[in-house]
């Protein structure tokens, strides 16, 4: 695996950043790119620093799924937002659009799968209408079918997994969002992860396997 420089956030990070785990040297253009979007909090203008638990969880997820995805010709990039909070209007959304622009600049029109945890999954559905996005994979998503868009999923594929004992975000709301997306998306599916909570700390291997397999399922459904 090869990574871009300056991948660890600092307390003074002025803008968004990327951890790029590109294909091994000698393979310049991947079949697709997975853009990993970490979680956050409702309200906070604090920068995402190296101690951020949300960013660290996403980085661990990225490292876990990358070897198998590299075997399939898929690169993984992890976005670090400027600030930790959603802040009422999705402060992470322009950062995600910036990251998608960076993918296009580096690799042209390769398909992208958005892999988001919690607020990252919310961010994902707000930017899923960007060109070349094949679909969204949400882990314990923070979705509200009353306010988060489904129109952005037109022509895309949606996969979501949620634990029944999540006290931070709602598995019931995730089911409702997936149901709302079904008439719009090319495909949409929900997976019950059982009696697990929000932070991907129990049944870690199952979460990792779900993320990996769902990304490949989306790419197969999109005929990539």
pLDDT, residue 25, reads 76
Residue 127: which domain range?
A: 2-221
CA distances (Å), origin 80, targets 6, 26, 180: 11, 27, 29
For the segment 62-113, what is each residue's pLDDT rounded down to a tens digit? 999 999 999 999 999 999 999 999 998 889 999 999 999 999 999 999 999 9
For the segment 187-202, what is each residue's pLDDT rounded down to a tens digit? 999 999 999 999 999 9
* Mean pLDDT, all residues of the chain: 93
Mean of the pLDDT values across residues 209-218? 98
In CATH, what number is assigned to the domain containing residue 97?
A: 3.40.50.1820
- Which residue, among 121, 209, 115, has the nearest Cα to 166 in the 3D structure? 121
Decide if pLDDT at 5 tops 50: no
pLDDT, residue 9, reads 56
CA–CA gap between residue 200 and residue 138 (Å, rounded): 12
User: How many domains would you assign to the chain?
Assistant: 1
């Amino acid at each position: 695996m090869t990574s871009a420089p300056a991948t660890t956030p600092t307390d003074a990070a002025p803008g968004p950043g990327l951890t790029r785990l590109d294909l091994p040297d000698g393979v310049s253009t991947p079949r697709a790119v997975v853009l990993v979007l970490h979680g956050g909090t409702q309200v906070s203008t604090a920068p995402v620093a190296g101690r951020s638990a949300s960013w660290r969880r996403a980085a661990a997820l990225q490292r876990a799924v990358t070897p198998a995805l590299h075997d399939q010709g898929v690169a993984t990039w992890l976005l670090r937002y400027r600030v930790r909070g959603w802040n009422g209007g999705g402060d992470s959304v322009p950062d995600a659009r910036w990251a998608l622009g960076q993918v296009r600049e580096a690799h042209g029109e390769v398909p992208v799968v958005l892999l988001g945890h919690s607020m990252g999954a919310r961010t994902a559905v707000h930017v899923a209408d960007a060109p070349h996005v094949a679909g969204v994979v949400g882990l314990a998503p923070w979705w509200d079918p009353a306010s988060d868009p489904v129109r952005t999923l037109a022509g895309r594929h949606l996969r979501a997994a949620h634990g029944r004992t999540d006290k931070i975000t709602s598995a019931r709301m995730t089911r409702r969002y997936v149901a709302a997306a079904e008439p719009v998306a090319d495909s949409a599916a929900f997976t019950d992860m059982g009696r697990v909570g929000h932070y991907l700390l129990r049944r870690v291997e199952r979460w990792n396997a779900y993320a990996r397999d769902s990304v490949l399922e989306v790419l197969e459904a999109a005929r990539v």
